[in-house]
A and B are shown apart, each in its own frame.
Chain A
Amino acid sequence: MSIAVLDTTGLPATSRSNAGRVPAGPAALLVDHATKRFKVDRRKPPLIAVDDVSIRLERGEIYGLLGANGSGKSTFIRLVSGLLTLDAGRVEVFGHDLVREEMAVKRLINRVSVDAAFFKKLSPAENLSFASRLYGLDSGEARRKAAEIMARLGIGEKRMSRPVEQMSRGMQQKVAIARAILTSPTLLLLDEPTTGLDPRSKLDVQTFIEELQSDHDATILLTTHDLAEADRLCGRIGVLAGGRLAAEETPERLKARVAFEHGLPPTLESAFMQYTGRSLDDDVEESEAEPAD
């Protein structure tokens, strides 16, 4: 862990290698005053899932988005993915507007969600082949690359031809990560990628995320409930509460700020409690804000 250096305000200066990158060219991700509302009941006012949120990610940055369940993290990821339309605001990926240049943006991004969604009867090889063809990859090249990624994630070739349903949750999540990486996204959206994984699988995935950043210059937007994970991986952290961005700092500054301004222990957990206004135990009980089918 890096040591926080206090600046003139008493808060630590940016010290992470990927924090506060100097902008060179367009932002990897620019979200400008994004708002999303859902009408869940005709008699009630719409539920505001994402409320006027603006963030900017520079190329190669890992940005963590924290927040309680229902705070709007997944909705935010879906907005950036183009799976939900914005009610207000705009999203740009490497200078391409998500609405006007949808196809260009789609070629640059991919996503891993908390639930490893696959055709469970199909094998990893078949699922990855489908994904690679959708992104216009040559099948031979895709097979070679898939095998490489899977090997790196600790999944041998023997497992590639068995149905996904026969794999553990951790294995399935690794296949989901491989599916996303296969298409060489320059912006990777990771929506709680390590939730439900055992410590070893979690560590594997976290190490792989670090490699993606260092070796492939990938920009990553990560949502997580694991504060240690956010502390380890993220150059900057945003905290969503009730759909609004309640805080945005480097982990060091966030910890120092909560100690300096609120007299709490200098930990991300304190910051989480302070800015979300709730305990971690409450968080587990709630469901996401988006309407069900």
Chain B
Amino acid sequence: MIAVTREARAGYAFVERNFNLTKRYWGWEVAFLVYAVAGALSVSLIGQSVGSRRLLMSLVVGAVFWNYLSVVFQSIGDTITWERWEGTLEYTMMAPVRRSTQLLGSALFAVAYGLIHTTVLLIVLALFFSLDLGHANLGAAAIFMIVGSASLIGIGMLAAILPMMSVERGSQMVFVLQSCLLLVSGVYYSTDILPGWMQLVSRISPATYVLDAIRKALIDGASLGDLLPDLWPLVFMAFAFIPLGLWGFGRAERYAKRTGKLKRVG
């Protein structure tokens, strides 16, 4: 019980610290939010210009929920990047905290932060385009966000290895990885139009299933039963990617300790 309390406190430490950092960098937070709103509106206006309500909804869902997924994904990697720049990673690694607690604490903040970001974005877009979500299945959409977050957290943990190995090049690689997910996950178009090999890659991206299911839930009002073909892969990925992420991060940490990569670089 004492061990659980200790780990819970440690996990909360990462949530509280990231919240404090967000608060201190509030100007940047506003800037990122404005950029996200402008980007989502710009993309969604393509649907408006074509005059297709369905395309508009599809683009809105793509823009809003890709924003959520990318915020969650990037926040986990950013946690390590910040620590490398500030030189605090050594202190965090010295603390009697399990790596799973550290990464899951960071992921918990990322999910909460992503949800707030996405809610603001959704409200702005719903008001701007007078979206009718009357027959949307919001419950199913919420379930897919939660399950999708879990599977993306695992990939985020794997991505967090990169800034641990090399803070500058690592951050660049996280950005490249995120761009590849954007390309193959059918954010603004159906994955059917992708070349065959890209379609294969799209099947291992959790974002593909999340976006497909949320579109069906919000646009067509599909039930959870209808969405099971999208749910099972996500559940499988969540169970596979989180342990894989923890394992990979642990291996990378051992490598970093062997080669002296945890030192301050900023």
A81 and B91 CA atoms in complex are apart in Å by 10
Write the chain B residue with the least CB distance to A119.
B86
Contact B167 A293 (CB under 8 A): yes
Contact B17 A122 (CB under 8 A): yes
A292 within 8 A of B: yes
Q: Which residues 210-266 of B have a CB within 8 angstroms of A?
A: 254, 257-265
In the bound complex, residues from chain A placing their C-beta under 8 Å from that of B82 are 119
A151 within 8 A of B: no
* Nearest-Cβ distance from residue A76 to partner chain B, whole angstroms: 13
Contact A130 B17 (CB under 8 A): yes
Q: How many residues of B contact A (CB 8 A)?
A: 38
In the bound complex, residues from chain A placing their C-beta under 8 Å from that of B20 are 119, 122, 126
In the bound complex, residues from chain B placing their C-beta under 8 Å from that of A82 are 93-94, 257
A228 within 8 A of B: no
0/1 per residue, B77-105, Cβ < 8 Å to A? Answer: 00000101011101111111100000000
Majority secondary structure, A binding face: loop
In the bound complex, residues from chain A placing their C-beta under 8 Å from that of B97 are 134
Once A117-B87, A135-B96 are accepted as A-B contacts, the answer to whether A39 and B16 lie under 8 Å apart by CB is no
A85 and B256 CA atoms in complex are apart in Å by 9
Contact B261 A293 (CB under 8 A): yes
Once A119-B17, A121-B21, A122-B24 are accepted as A-B contacts, the answer to whether A293 and B263 lie under 8 Å apart by CB is yes
Q: Which residues 119-140 of A have a CB within 8 angstroms of B?
A: 119-122, 126, 129-131, 133-137
* Nearest-Cβ distance from residue B167 to partner chain A, whole angstroms: 6
A45 within 8 A of B: no
Contact B16 A106 (CB under 8 A): no
Which single member of A38, A83, A126, A292 contacts B17 (CB below 8 Å)? Answer: A126
Which single member of B12, B25, B87 contacts A115 (CB below 8 Å)? Answer: B87
B203 within 8 A of A: no
B5 within 8 A of A: yes
Majority secondary structure, B binding face: helix
Contact B263 A106 (CB under 8 A): no
Q: How many residues of A contact B (CB 8 A)?
A: 38
In the bound complex, residues from chain A placing their C-beta under 8 Å from that of B166 are 293
Write the chain A residue with the least CB distance to B2.
A136
Contact B95 A81 (CB under 8 A): no
Q: Which residues 152-197 of B have a CB within 8 angstroms of A?
A: 166-168
A38 and B95 CA atoms in complex are apart in Å by 24
Contact B91 A121 (CB under 8 A): no
In the bound complex, residues from chain A placing their C-beta under 8 Å from that of B90 are 78, 81, 83, 111, 113, 117
A290 within 8 A of B: yes
Contact A84 B260 (CB under 8 A): yes
Contact A133 B261 (CB under 8 A): no
B54 within 8 A of A: no
Contact B6 A136 (CB under 8 A): yes
A137 and B262 CA atoms in complex are apart in Å by 25
B13 within 8 A of A: yes
Once A85-B254, A133-B12 are accepted as A-B contacts, the answer to whether A122 and B21 lie under 8 Å apart by CB is yes
In the bound complex, residues from chain A placing their C-beta under 8 Å from that of B263 are 290, 292-293
B9 within 8 A of A: yes
B10 within 8 A of A: yes
Q: Which residues 59-93 of A have a CB within 8 angstroms of B?
A: 75, 78, 81-85
* Nearest-Cβ distance from residue A162 to partner chain B, whole angstroms: 11
Q: Please report A residues at the B interface, Cβ cutoff 8 Å.
A: 38-39, 75, 78, 81-85, 103, 106-107, 109-111, 113, 115, 117-122, 126, 129-131, 133-137, 163, 179, 290-293
Report 8 cross-chain contacts, Cβ distance below 8 Å, ordered by A residue.
Answer: A81-B90, A83-B93, A85-B254, A111-B91, A113-B90, A129-B16, A130-B16, A133-B16
